[in-house]
Amino acid sequence: MREIRFDSFGGPEVLTLHTDAPQPVAGPGEVLVEVAYVGLNPLDYKIRDGSSGRSKDLVLPAGTGREMAGVVLSAGPDLDEAELEARGVAPGTRVFGMRAGADQRGTAAEVIAIAADDLAPIPDEVTAEELPRWAGLALVGLTAIAVVRDSARIAEGETVLVHGGAGGVGQLLIPMALEAGAAQVWATGRAANAERIRELGATPIAYDDADWRAEIDEATGGRGVDVVLDTHYFTTFVPSLDHLAPGGRIVTLPTLADTSPATERGIEVHVPQLVPGRDRLDHLVQGLRSGAYPLEASTVLPLGEIARAHRLLAEGHTRGKLVLDAHA
């Protein structure tokens, strides 16, 4: 089968498409999945270049990718047909999901072995054309739930600023913040993505056309917002502290973020911890199915263009999700 691997940490050029990789074997609690699409995230290039904390314990050569959508082929020796049926992941079922934190194997391959508990079924009515966005749903969806539900704890009537509203996580943070009761959500993004941000329910602030700080000050009468959800961090975290309302809080996504500028000022700050679980995956299914979480897969590339995909991720301007076609 075909599989993407890298033998050393470095730039996108270290990623290699192997065409004769052995097919994996499903272990206890696992199923084999024929991958249709692979969802990619900024975490992938940070693991590849060695800058992520997850790189420290990674054994090379290694695969890449954390999430996917595909079809269950078979199961490990301890999972019988009745149990698979009960979980909704019997052979022949279309599924999506992401690897648990301790599972360092990649997903950018034609076939993978993955824990059955890390998967959820895709509704039957989902068309083949819609499948790419399901491949990119698990990681950003679980992240957004951790941000809004576990960390930000947005209350009815609060105001929210999202940095990076058109990105994969941002496209779910906006509707989830509104669902939690936010009275007003502003979201930064490029001017080219302003209409998309508006469609998601937020007021766009085009950072390439305007000063977001001045826009927030004017919109809030200088009070600031109750909550900042910061998917960018590097250029936005410290400036955002000056635009929080009294008692406000900020959530920043990078796990290695330095939160001391906030804590030193007595500002409540959180770095969310992603919590896996079938209940949360099922919640995402309902949200995407109903249209409440209109995540888009804006770019679909062939598996062999993995290096280009990582370059696009590193540029930081990807709208929605970037996805690989595992069989193209």
Tell me the per-residue pLDDT of 145-160, one tens digit each, with 9 for 90 and over: 999 999 999 999 999 9
Q: Domains in the chain, please, with CATH?
A: 3-136+295-325 (3.90.180.10), 143-270 (3.90.180.10)
Q: What does the pLDDT look like over 248-284, one tens digit per residue?
A: 999 999 888 999 999 999 999 999 999 989 999 999 9
Residue 64 scores a pLDDT above 90: yes
pLDDT of 237 above 90:
yes
Asked whether the predicted pLDDT for residue 53 surpasses 90, the reply is: no
For residue 214, what pLDDT is reported?
Answer: 97
Q: Which residues, 6+ apart, have CB-to-CB distance to 125 below 8 Å? A: none
Q: What is the pLDDT of residues 94-116, one digit of tens each?
A: 999 999 988 999 999 999 999 99
The pTM of the full predicted model, rounded to 2 decimals, is 0.94
pLDDT value of residue 185: 98
| DSSP per-residue string spanning 109-126 | BSEEEEEGGGEEEPPTT-
How far apart are the C-alpha atoms of 92 and 87, rounded to whole Å?
Answer: 13
Q: Which helix (H) or strand (E) holds 323?
A: strand 321-325
What pLDDT score does 24 carry? 97
As a whole number, mean pLDDT of residues 25-35 equals 97
**In what helix (H) or strand (E) does residue 220 lie, and over which residues does it extend?**
helix 212-220
Q: Is the pLDDT of residue 126 over 90?
A: yes
